Amino acid sequence: METTGRRCKVIALANQKGGVSKTTTTVNLGIGLARAGNRVLLIDSDPQASLTASMGEREPDRLDKTLATVLTSIMEGQEIEAEDGILTHGEGVRFLPANIDLAAVEVSLISAMSREYMLKEYIEAVAPYFDYIITDCMPSLGMLTINALAAADTVLIPLQAQYLSLKGLEQLTATIMRIKKRINPALDFEGILLTMVDARTNYAREIMEMVRGNYGQRIPVFENYIPLSVRVAEASAEGKSIFAHDPKGRASAAYEMLAKEVLAHGR
Ligand code: ADP
Ligand code: MG
């Protein structure tokens, strides 16, 4: 790998609720940024390995090198090679896969020295080679998610357009503020992204306004939202991005706009 000579921006995709489109957004934002000419690394920080599967890797449990092995090396104080374990997806992004071994690694993190900073150490080693590093978090606020937030410049919060989602957002922002205070003072919000918006109902707009009203002062809300679209789910099942699966569809346009908004935020 060659160094970029540019600053790398590290974004964590976090929400302790499952099924809100964290993984899908990691893939499509990452590939959107790569299509705009950026060198992008996606990190799968979920033992369920959905990102790894969405990248077309059918048997994550057979992989030799994953985030689990990388974090184990770091905890043991071994040197790591920047390229170790990184795979390439056909649409121009690189990714560090995960598998079920990561669940045990999360447990051993709890008693590790400097336990919040193990992923940061890895990210610092690979950052010279990338413009964007995006970490796909698991649906919890446990040690792996804390590691992702400790290592990030910004956090992007995918939020499903439902009233109940607002409750979880309160707990998530409280955790983020605690991490900002104690662990990573430079952590900023990339923004809240409304996902799976059903255009046939009009409460999406209402929720968008509620989110803006309640959080807009502290947290930016993306202008653009992601529509509910069966094409999005089909694309992940095929190991492709929405750009490859349905280039002319609304979800593809939405993800392209999202990548533009993120680019406009700068590094
Ligand atoms: P998370 O990572 O937050 O658990 P996923 O990205 O895995 O969420 O998405 C959960 C499920 O919803 C997956 O089956 C995915 O294919 C589907 N999905 C995600 N985004 C959309 C969308 N915009 N429209 C329709 N289905 C979606
Ligand atoms: Mg996921």
Q: What is the pLDDT of residues 116-126, one digit of tens each?
A: 999 999 999 99
**Mutational test site, ligand 1, from 17, 22, 24, max ligand atoms within 8 Å of CB:** 24
Rounded Cα gap, residues 68 and 77, in angstroms: 14
Per the domain annotation, does 1 fall within a domain?
A: no
Per the domain annotation, does 172 fall within a domain?
A: yes
Per the domain annotation, does 107 fall within a domain?
A: yes
SS3 of residue 90 by DSSP: coil
Rounded Cα gap, residues 45 and 19, in angstroms: 15
- Give the pLDDT confidence score for residue 117 in this predicted structure: 97
CB 110 within 8 A of CB 66: no
Q: Which numbered atom of ligand 1 lies nearest the CA of 195?
A: 23
- Give the pLDDT confidence score for residue 226 in this predicted structure: 96
Ligand 1 neighbour 173 (Cβ under 6 A): no
- Give the pLDDT confidence score for residue 134 in this predicted structure: 99
Rounded Cα gap, residues 111 and 191, in angstroms: 32
Tokens of 162: 């439902």
Per the domain annotation, does 3 fall within a domain?
A: no
Domains of the chain: total:
1
Per the domain annotation, does 52 fall within a domain?
A: yes
Domain of residue 136, CATH code: 3.40.50.300
Ligand 1 neighbour 196 (Cβ under 6 A): yes
Per the domain annotation, does 223 fall within a domain?
A: yes
Phi, psi of 214 (to 5 degrees): -80, -30
Range of the domain at 40: 9-265
- Report the candidate in 109, 133, 120, 106 with the shortest Cα–Cα distance to residue 43: 133
Ligand 1 neighbour 23 (Cβ under 6 A): yes
Read off the DSSP letter of residue 59: -
Question: Which tens digit of pLDDT belongs to each residue from 205-231?
Answer: 788 888 889 888 899 999 999 999 999
Per the domain annotation, does 159 fall within a domain?
A: yes
- Give the pLDDT confidence score for residue 14 in this predicted structure: 98
- Give the pLDDT confidence score for residue 208 in this predicted structure: 83
The crossing angle, in degrees rounded to 10, of helices 250-265 and 22-35 is: 70
The residue nearest atom 15 of ligand 1, judged by CA position, is 233
Low-confidence ranges of the chain (pLDDT < 50): none
Ligand 1 neighbour 229 (Cβ under 6 A): yes
Ligand 1 neighbour 143 (Cβ under 6 A): no
- Give the pLDDT confidence score for residue 239 in this predicted structure: 97
Where are any strands of DSSP class E within the chain?
Answer: 9-13, 40-45, 87-88, 94-96, 132-137, 154-160, 188-195
- Give the pLDDT confidence score for residue 40 in this predicted structure: 98
- Give the pLDDT confidence score for residue 164 in this predicted structure: 75
- The rounded Å distance from CA 108 to ligand 1 centre is 29
Rounded Cα gap, residues 74 and 68, in angstroms: 10
Per the domain annotation, does 2 fall within a domain?
A: no
